[in-house]
Chains A and B, each alone.
Chain A
Amino acid sequence: MILDEQYLQWLLDQTLAVVDVPSGAGVVLEGSIAEGFGNASSDIDLLLLYDDEHEYPTMPSILFVDGRRVEVRTRSLRQAREQAELVTRLASRGGAGLPRIPVDLLNRCQRLSRSFPLRGHDVVDRAHRALPADQLPGIVAPWFAHHARQAMRQVVALDAMRQTVEAAAWTRIALTQAAKAWVAAHGETYVESKWLSQQFDRIGEDSAEFAERYWSLTRKGTDDGTMRPGTTQQSARVMAAAELVDDFGVAGCTADSGMIDVIGTPAVTTWAIGTQLHVIRDRRDVFVLSPQAAAVWRSVVAPMPLNDLLRCGGSDPAVVGAIVAEFYRIGLLRLRWRNGAAITIAQPYGAEQPSTPIPSTSLPILGIHGAVRPDDDPPIVALLPLPAQRFAAAGMAHVWSNIMVDNAREDLTGAQANQQWRVAETAGRRMLISACRALLSAYGVSPLPPDSGLIPRLGQLRVIPDELAKAADAIDDSITSADSPASVAAVANSLDEFIRRVREGTGASLFPASFTSADAWDRTIQIGHDWIRVGAYLDSDFPIEEARDVFTTGGVQPHLSGATDVHRA
């Protein structure tokens, strides 16, 4: 140790002067210094062992003694025993148990097992017997080997997907886990990676070649993903890393992406709305796919070899690779080593996949053809900023409102022709309200405010263009007083212009003129059914019962008999 026992006892005395410790408690030094590592600025890690059954928190108290940071933790013997038993039991189950040992738990047990007793030797001995230090290599080495194997498989996959930078980062992780497995098998069981160089050194000459290869391959190099001659899927650096991982004793992760299959993910579903493809994760997150991503996604017939998917459609492997990698990152599909379990992302202290991209900030959020994809620098997969159920409900309301706009416009035309001004007022107001509903639902507002609150709400939302809100307000005022052919025609013109701008702003300019031809009505109904299909999956709210009727009865219209074309003079 870099500190002698006398100094440590003095530090302990100073600590105990401010920490209330019952008599009979054991005290150990654990961590870097106890392991024989450390330097002048290393923390002093003290663990108080109480001979009782209590559950003590893991949070340490932190003191500063003689310019050193001293961390004091507390554990009961019962806690120490139970933690050791859990680690031992899970480790004995091999591949089924090792992934379930959290790194914190392993670290805690390893540190106690290899700790240096300072007080209460009897209590400390009993704690040490729960997990004798000579058993640690048999637990720590396979634990690191498991993580190394998963990380290296991840490297092989990412490399095949041409994700060079990410593959390089995972290569370092895989190599470090494999090196830690190797040193642990040689008795160096300290869990954290920071003293790996000293662990290599203490093993002696046997480690020199391994250490040299390790440091060489983990150094940030100029890996450009160049393929090794004779191979098409793996870069030279990955091949070398896989060889070293294997030499470290970690089998089952050769640099061969032919060993990797693509498998599906539960609760990931695919929904076409119009021509746009959406993928819903866990009934919660909605992703909209770029056309290229949609083509790749449609090629997934899981389980299938990863290499087959990367070759799909004869497209550029780098382009397809980037798309598949994104699907993988966000958990739309998973990878499996041939005849094995799914590859798990097992970086100690690292976040687990799947990850989630930053939600799209495109506004409006949706239109009749589903999610609106960002125009500038469109991502492969864009996450919508609203939950799936609301997306479907808002979409159905949007389509339905557009249908109602057309319906009301027909009524307005009829009322104008017959000089029925009060009928025209009602129809015009319905047209305005429906357009406002279409507008708000395109921004993801669901449920919609009551009709009385729609127009005021437009003015409150900064994302709605101010001139639209003002136009709605002005039309609302003018409808009531319109009682002549000229004034009603003026209101109708204002409404048409308002609706044109609403549809232009929500990508519905091409909304089929649903009440003018049977073909257009068919297209409207088809779009409605696309939304219903996803709405039914998510059990989303229909906009109103009348909408449900129209969609679920096939769209028999109020003023047309079935879907028959009516030609006007």
Chain B
Amino acid sequence: MTLTVLVTGASGLVGSEVVARLSGAGHTVFALMHANSEVVRNNGRRLKTLDWREAAPRGSVVRVNGDITKPRLGLSDHQYDALRTVDRVVHVAAVTTFGLPADTYERINIAGTEQVLEFASRTTSSPIPLVHVSTAYVCGERIGVVGEDELDAGQRFGTAYERSKFVAEQSVHRAAGNGLPVVVVRPSIVVGTERNGVIRDFKNIYVVLKAFTEGRVRSVAGNYDATLDLVPVDYVAELISQAVVRFEDAVGRTFHAVGAQEHNLLDFSNVLAEYPSFHVPRFVSPASFSTARMPLGERAYYERVVALYESYFRRSVTFDATAAKVFMPRRPTVRGLPFLRRLLNHGLRTGYLGAPQQSIDSVLGLLDAREAR
């Protein structure tokens, strides 16, 4: 059976791969995104898309210009009503960059999700099955094993991003309680593909790695046994796509989309040391870490880039993924240093890592520009 699917955040890193997989399997995808956006796959290839139309051939991707932060998703009444006939909604759209103003997360991640829930819930007939893409880090700063069926454990959050995704997931669960069929997929930290580390956008953890390896930041508050879970983008997209297609097998479940095995900071320290040009940061216990005596340039980098991720360097968390494994037995298999090498080697191949060093001013200028946007 072929499906029609509305995908929010269709131009994003995960969204574009979900669109590609669904359309590649013959499903018709309505790709909700900002005006003038394109659907560019993780490998840089642009997907062929069609202008807005109500009906489209199997396997096609129809561009829908919209905005989840606006009432009725920023669509015309006609489009809104027409799209409510889709078979599935996949809600990927979110802001994942750290360090933005709190209201940005409120507006996009929380209120945006509410808009999508309203879209999926209030149909004249039955509600539209929804696959909601959350994050494994809705667990906040919990340590130990976190189950897929756990959400509110009174946790503290390391970032406003995590908190916003937590609140959004609570909304999703409320909607599910009111009869909306829902599957929640929680990716951990999304990185390059399992096979060769390819990634379209060097964001989030990559920015931190760049600051470390270029020696911009020499010391960081963290524990060697803290763990980070890195998940290949292709696995995440495949799990979401499977949840869409095999919705009946998944409904009501939450899946942790996580890597083959979490990495601890010692893994990062050891693998960075394999690259002659890379600097390896010192992980200093958060107990008394202070940026006060850092050189000015290093402190600027630390506070503007690394500090946003600091809480990740002191947590030791393992995400249980039993339900995800049962639902889709194919799991990432490359673990440990070999996987980190693939990610770093791709960064080197593309020149993102190991490139001539930019001046501090230019990098901070870029960050300012991003925040202004």
Contact = CB atoms under 8 A, between A and B. Distances in A.
A302 B279 contact: no
A264 B285 contact: no
Given A536-B224, A554-B287, A563-B288, A302 B282 contact: no
B274 A269 contact: yes
A529 B277 contact: no
A556 B287 CA distance: 8
A448 interface: no
Given A268-B274, A536-B269, A554-B288, A522 B293 contact: yes
Q: Give the dominant DSSP class at B's interface.
A: loop
Contacts of A264: 274-276
Interface string A492-519: 0000000000000000000000000011
B278 A530 contact: no
Interface string A215-236: 0000000000000000000000
Interface in B333-373: 348, 354
A537 interface: yes
B219 A270 contact: no
Contact of B276 (A270, A519, A553, A554): A270
A533 interface: yes
B277 A563 contact: no
A301 B284 contact: no
Contact of B282 (A269, A518, A526): A526
B49 interface: no
B219 A529 contact: yes
B345 to A, nearest CB: 9
A288 to B, nearest CB: 14
A530 B293 contact: no
Interface string B265-284: 01001100111111110111
Given A536-B224, A537-B269, A563-B288, A529 B282 contact: yes
A556 B288 contact: yes
Contacts of A271: 273, 280
B121 interface: no
A279 B275 CA distance: 11
B287 A553 contact: yes
Interface stretch (A81-89, A168-176, A292-300): A292-300
A117 B277 CA distance: 62
Contacts of A526: 218-219, 282
B278 A270 contact: yes
A377 to B, nearest CB: 25
Contacts of B37: none
Given A554-B286, A562-B288, A533 B280 contact: yes
Interface residues of A, number: 32
A310 to B, nearest CB: 15
Interface in A458-490: none
A343 interface: no
Q: Give the dominant DSSP class at A's interface.
A: mixed
Select the residue from B288, B289, B290 with max chain A CB neighbours within 10 A. Answer: B288
B213 to A, nearest CB: 11
Contacts of B16: none
Nearest to B353: A301
Contacts of A193: none
B60 interface: no
Contacts of A555: 285, 288
A552 interface: yes
A518 B277 contact: no
Contacts of A518: 293
B282 A530 contact: yes
A525 interface: yes
Contacts of B293: 518-519, 522
B79 to A, nearest CB: 49
A461 to B, nearest CB: 33
A300 B270 contact: no
A272 interface: yes
A518 B266 CA distance: 27
B223 interface: yes
B277 A300 contact: yes
A324 to B, nearest CB: 12
B285 A297 contact: no
B270 A537 contact: yes
B270 A301 contact: no
B284 A525 contact: yes
4 nearest A-B pairs in the assembled complex, by CB-CB distance: A554-B285, A554-B288, A269-B273, A529-B282
17 contacts: A269-B270, A269-B273, A270-B273, A270-B275, A270-B276, A270-B278, A299-B276, A301-B275, A301-B276, A302-B275, A518-B293, A536-B270, A537-B269, A552-B223, A553-B287, A554-B289, A556-B287
Given A272-B280, A299-B277, 19 more contacts: A269-B273, A271-B273, A298-B276, A298-B277, A301-B275, A301-B277, A302-B276, A529-B219, A529-B282, A533-B282, A533-B283, A536-B266, A536-B270, A537-B270, A552-B285, A553-B288, A554-B284, A554-B286, A563-B290
